[in-house]
Structure 1
Amino acid sequence: MIKDKALVVFSGGQDSTTCLFWARERYAEVEAVTFQYGQRHKRELECAADIARELGVRQHVLDLSLLNQLAPSALTRDNMDIKEEEGQLPTTFVDGRNLLFLSFAAVLVKQRGGRHLVTGVCETDFSGYPDCRDIFIKSLNVTLNLAMDYSFVIETPLMWLNKAETWALSDRMGVLDYVRTKTLTCYNGVMADGCGECPACRLRRRGLEQYLAGRDGEEAQ
């Protein structure tokens, strides 16, 4: 375990909760930061708070509601449909979200005396969001170091994992059932396995089914 402090960008979803457990295995101190940016479902914020409280993790909640005013998205506006059309960014994309989240998280972790930022962005199984790409994270890491003259390290443990592999990681840490039942990934605000219909739920379910089928097949041999 590294004797350092890590700050996890934490929404209470599958990916960020997996990252929270990942960080707790590696760092002496782990805190979480959750952003209120006008999400359609307050249950997301409640879910994140519940998990942090249950795990005994100090949670910081920052108000970035201005983002909703500047960058309308289906994640923040009830009057926008959730759509994914070929050749276009999904309507769930929020311009500047990860840029702002990680920038504010960097300010916070520096004030808290840490250097490690952990985020669940992923380039393998993602919705085409440009701010989930590895090249963006590496670029921002350099920019933050220069901007604050401080050696930040942005950790992306899920960057090259597909959803099945993300479930496998949670299982190796012994928290698969916790992640499955306690997190909220659904765009429609339904806990655990979700609504089953939105893009986030379909991706999550497909990954879980692939992982469980592979695991059960190995155990049967």
Structure 2
Amino acid sequence: MKNKEEKAIVVFSGGQDSTTCLFWATQRFASVEAVTFDYGQRHKLELECAASIARELGVKHHVLDMSLLNQLAPNALTRDDIAIEQMEGGLPTTFVDGRNLLFLSFAAVLAKQSGAKHIVTGVCETDFSGYPDCRDVFVKSLNVTLNLAMDYPFVIDTPLMWLDKAQTWALADELGALDYVREKTLTCYNGIIADGCGECPSCVLRKRGLDQYLSQKEAGGVR
């Protein structure tokens, strides 16, 4: 049931997780806006995809310039000369230092200015790729910090935090958005919409979760 008095800002990339969160938010809150960050990502199609989805869903869409992040934190998502790989004993080259810290902080500034008390993000600790800024403890800590910093009652909602990819697909299905999320979103590190390249870590994780969910659904054993 919708909360008729509350507004939410969704941190939105146009990928599987954030699009699922956008559907989740539109069914939960009376008013929803989306914010996408341009941080110099290699595939500008990500920005176009996010804008297209927001437009189709009738959601007001903000795009904020975060290009300084690319200068400060070189990574495989913004640099052609950095390979996408998991470093043994370290973080993946796709990790961007400070990204979720900055994204959520700027989303909070936007939220306060627009009168929204909820910030929705698709971070997940279950299937995350070793990113420290996807952890529940980080989100809860930042939530407290933002409330103190702006003297405002923010709530950072993380509907996917404890879901694996199969369960995230299940949630999309429950929201009536399974086909939409599968066909319209961009999760692939190589910039290919829908099922993607099938080879990058993001595509492998996405496909494994989808295959698992569809198998469970066919067997009648979904959640």
Same fold (TM over 0.5): yes
* Worse-matched range after superposition: 159-168 or 210-219: 210-219
Q: State the alpha-carbon separation in 2 of the partners of residues 170 and 84 from structure 1.
A: 28
Q: Aligned to 2:154, which of 145, 148, 152?
A: 152
User: Is 1:6 equivalent to 2:31 in the alignment?
Assistant: no
Name the aligned partner's letter for residue 150 of structure 1: Y
| Structure 1 unmatched ranges of 5 or more | none
After the TM superposition, which parts of structure 1 deviate over 3 Å for at least 4 consecutive aligned residues?
none
Q: TM-score, normalised by structure 2?
A: 0.97
Q: State the alpha-carbon separation in 1 of the partners of residues 77 and 173 from structure 2.
A: 29
What is the deviation of 1:204? 0.1
Q: Report how many residues are paired.
A: 219
Deviations 1:144-171 (A, max 9, x none): 0000011100000000000000000000
Counterparts of 1:153-192 in structure 2, within 5 Å, are: 153-192=155-194
Q: TM-score, normalised by structure 1?
A: 0.98
Give the match for residue 92 of structure 2: 90
Give the match for residue 73 of structure 1: 75
Q: State the alpha-carbon separation in 2 of the partners of residues 55 and 161 from structure 1.
A: 24
CA RMSD for the aligned pairs? Answer: 0.7
Name the aligned partner's letter for residue 41 of structure 2: Q
What is the deviation of 1:48? 0.2
Q: State the alpha-carbon separation in 2 of the partners of residues 137 and 215 from structure 1.
A: 32
User: Is 1:40 equivalent to 2:14 in the alignment?
Assistant: no
Deviations 1:154-202 (A, max 9, x none): 0000000000000000001111000000000000000000000000000
| Structure 2 unmatched ranges of 5 or more | none
Name the aligned partner's letter for residue 51 of structure 1: I
What is the deviation of 1:86? 3.2
What is the deviation of 1:143? 0.2
Aligned-partner SS, 2:220: helix
Q: Aligned to 2:112, which of 99, 110, 113?
A: 110
Name the aligned partner's letter for residue 133 of structure 1: R
User: Is 1:132 equivalent to 2:125 in the alignment?
Assistant: no
Q: State the alpha-carbon separation in 2 of the partners of residues 88 and 18 from structure 1.
A: 29
Identity in percent: 76
Q: Aligned to 1:201, which of 200, 203, 206?
A: 203
What is the deviation of 1:217? 1.1
Name the aligned partner's letter for residue 217 of structure 1: A
Give the match for residue 15 of structure 1: 17
Q: State the alpha-carbon separation in 1 of the partners of residues 120 and 175 from structure 2.
A: 17
What is the deviation of 1:85? 2.9
What is the deviation of 1:210? 0.2
Aligned-partner SS, 1:178: helix
